[in-house]
Homo-oligomer: A and B are copies of this chain.
Amino acid sequence: MSVDSRKLLARPLQDEPSLDVQGFDRPRAFMDRVAEDLAPLLEIANRPVLTARQFGRDQLVQLCRLAARYETQPSVINRPLTGKILISAFYEPSTRTRLSFESAWHRLGGDVMSITDPLSTGLAKGESLFDIGEMLNHYGDVVVLRDSDERSVYEMLEALRIPIVNAGNGLDEHPTQALADVYALLKWRPSLVDGHSDESPARIGVVGVPGRMRTIRSLLILLSRFAPGLAEIVIVTDEREPFEPDQREELEEAGLRIEVVDDLDVVLPTLDVVYINSIAWKHGDYESLGARYRLSEQSPFKPGAIVLHPLARGGELDRSIDATAHNWYFAQARGAVFIRMALLSALSKTYA
């Protein structure tokens, strides 16, 4: 039985989305708010990117500013990384994050070599990450690494004389996802950059488990850099111990006000931003947490509230939200390419 494709052919490709978050207005407004200053980015040049901890507010703001420039003026990019090679090592599969990095590097003019085998493949199966890192020094210019073992990026780092970017290390961190999250937030509310918000401080809900979800661990660290513009961070979870030891204390010392609640629908009408995720990593595998929390078009959102999600999504985020103005997760995914272009530019000290 063949698919009847005639009806489908009668309609054109999807139009450009009408949601303004994917147009040029938001990144332009952000650029108008913030003056370009490459000095904070010079501190990142030729450095490893391991953890959200290493980014200060000025670096975050300038990375987002550079990303906004790439997003709004793609035609001015003059392939500054021509002749440079990205080694894209995804020992744990992740099409989404891998393609995002590779697209970013290609759009800057560089070449890519991908590794998508698990570490246990082939002759190299007994090879140490130190030896692999030593090899990569000679074969490429930047390494992006994802592995389900949180120690891998640190073990490889010991041998490296070229920058490495942590693209997710087990259940530890995913700092570049958090960069994409922050870029979406700053496009949504540019006044967050300096804390004297034009609006009342933002109340951000985070549906998930900070102690066991790497995206959320990294995000909370970055949010602490913008604490003056934030009201509360509301963690929505039914776990008794959602934090790992010292995690909450550290974030509070950094200025975040944190609440923990277990009923999403009760708190939802008070939230300006809802960040939701249900994937938690276990060693070598993952599990779904918080299956009882679900967002749909019918959820009691505050008017104007936005939803962020690192994607891929499961049942926690219903497709009925896609066509509403709450949907900022597609813009967040789109921005992930531009913020990674900005980061890779900064590492390579070539600002297109």
In the bound complex, do residue B172 and residue A2 qualify as a contact, i.e. CB atoms below 8 Å apart? yes
In the bound complex, do residue A9 and residue B106 qualify as a contact, i.e. CB atoms below 8 Å apart? no
Which residues on B sit within 8 Å (CB–CB) of A12? 47
In the bound complex, do residue A5 and residue B53 qualify as a contact, i.e. CB atoms below 8 Å apart? yes
- Taking a contact as CB atoms closer than 8 A, the residue among B113, B158, B312 that contacts A112 in the complex is B113
Stretch at the interface among A115-123, A193-201, A223-231, A300-308: A115-123
In the bound complex, do residue A124 and residue B95 qualify as a contact, i.e. CB atoms below 8 Å apart? yes
In the bound complex, do residue B8 and residue A150 qualify as a contact, i.e. CB atoms below 8 Å apart? no
In the bound complex, do residue B111 and residue A85 qualify as a contact, i.e. CB atoms below 8 Å apart? no
**A188 interface residue (CB < 8 Å to B):** no
Q: What is the bound-complex CA distance between A247 and B286, given in angstroms?
A: 47
**A65 interface residue (CB < 8 Å to B):** no
Which residues on B sit within 8 Å (CB–CB) of A114? 114
**A100 interface residue (CB < 8 Å to B):** yes
A319-B130 contact, Cβ under 8 Å, with A116-B117, A160-B13, A333-B138: yes
**A36 interface residue (CB < 8 Å to B):** no
- CB neighbors of B among A98-147 (8 A): 99-100, 102-103, 106-107, 109, 111-117, 121-124, 126-127, 130-132, 134-140
In the bound complex, do residue A83 and residue B79 qualify as a contact, i.e. CB atoms below 8 Å apart? yes
Which residues on B sit within 8 Å (CB–CB) of A8? 50, 154, 157
- Taking a contact as CB atoms closer than 8 A, the residue among B5, B6, B87 that contacts A99 in the complex is B87
In the bound complex, do residue A122 and residue B103 qualify as a contact, i.e. CB atoms below 8 Å apart? no
In the bound complex, do residue B47 and residue A13 qualify as a contact, i.e. CB atoms below 8 Å apart? yes
Quick one: which of A15, A93, A122, A319 has the most chain B CB within 10 A?
Answer: A122
A9-B139 contact, Cβ under 8 Å, with A93-B122, A172-B2: no
- CB neighbors of B among A18-70 (8 A): 46-48, 50-51, 53-54
Which residues on B sit within 8 Å (CB–CB) of A48? 9, 13
In the bound complex, do residue B311 and residue A135 qualify as a contact, i.e. CB atoms below 8 Å apart? yes
In the bound complex, do residue B124 and residue A96 qualify as a contact, i.e. CB atoms below 8 Å apart? yes
A127-B312 contact, Cβ under 8 Å, with A9-B53, A135-B333, A159-B14: yes
**A343 interface residue (CB < 8 Å to B):** no
**A181 interface residue (CB < 8 Å to B):** no
| Listed A/B pairs (24) with beta-carbon separation below 8 Å | A2-B247, A5-B53, A5-B54, A6-B53, A9-B50, A13-B48, A14-B158, A79-B83, A85-B107, A93-B123, A95-B121, A95-B122, A95-B124, A95-B132, A96-B135, A102-B113, A111-B111, A114-B114, A124-B312, A126-B314, A127-B311, A127-B312, A134-B333, A137-B334
